Chains A and B, each alone.
Chain A
Amino acid sequence: MRIEPLSEHHARGAFTSGVEPLDRYLRTQAGQDARRRVAACFVLVEDGGVEPLGFYTLAATSIALAELPEALTKRLPRYPAVPATLMGRLAVDGRHRGEGLGEMLLMDALARALRSEIATFAVVVDAKDGRAAEFYAKYDFRALTTDGRRLFLPMAEVAQSFA
């Protein structure tokens, strides 16, 4: 297995995660987003393979904090906007469910965010439903927003888990 940046040679037509917007994104949008540097897309392929078994996207984001007591804000590395890494999409092909590929993709995203030259203080994920949120919660992610749609993991904890 390899995880590599999406490129022209990847055959995306047959990718089916069961979530149509994610499949469509990989087929029609991911390449353009990568060229425009909107979001970077990484795909998991078999060694020598060209068909993605899964993919995720990473983008820069900024977390704008509300007014907080100075005792707290003066200790923050940045305030009021904290730079973070957003993993906006993660999908595994339905034919490869239950093989732990989602975990591998998530760990790759964490490792990549950790060694990025652009320092960020958390990894943020979008959870499209309760099942997705449960998946991330297994890996120490907790709610960023009260609606539970977004979760985060502090970068210091990412570093510790790979130490």
Chain B
Amino acid sequence: MIASAHEAAVRTIDAVETIRLNEAESRAFAESILAPREPTDRLRAAAQRYVETFGR
């Protein structure tokens, strides 16, 4: 019972999980969001294969 109560508590925290980044991580993340790169051919090809298999 104690184990399952603990698991339940952990899961509740997991559900509203916040990922905290340090300064360097925050800067890198923010810059990526503001200046997205062109997807590589590999990613585009994977997305294309998916769309061909499953539709959009």
Interface string of B13-51 (1 = CB under 8 A from A): 011111111111111111111101111101110110111
Task: Verify if A116 is at the interface (C-beta below 8 Å from B).
Answer: no
Residues from chain B with a CB closer than 8 A to the CB of A67 are: 23
> What is the total number of residues of chain A having a CB less than 8 Å from a CB of chain B?
54
Contacts A/B (CB < 8 Å), 18 sampled: A36-B15, A38-B11, A59-B15, A63-B18, A68-B23, A72-B27, A72-B34, A76-B33, A76-B34, A86-B19, A103-B49, A104-B54, A106-B46, A124-B19, A142-B32, A152-B32, A154-B36, A160-B38
Q: CB within 8 Å of B: which residues of A? A: 1-3, 33, 36-39, 59, 61-68, 72-73, 75-77, 81-82, 84, 86, 88, 100, 103-104, 106-108, 110-111, 121-122, 124, 138-140, 142-146, 150, 152, 154, 156-157, 160-162
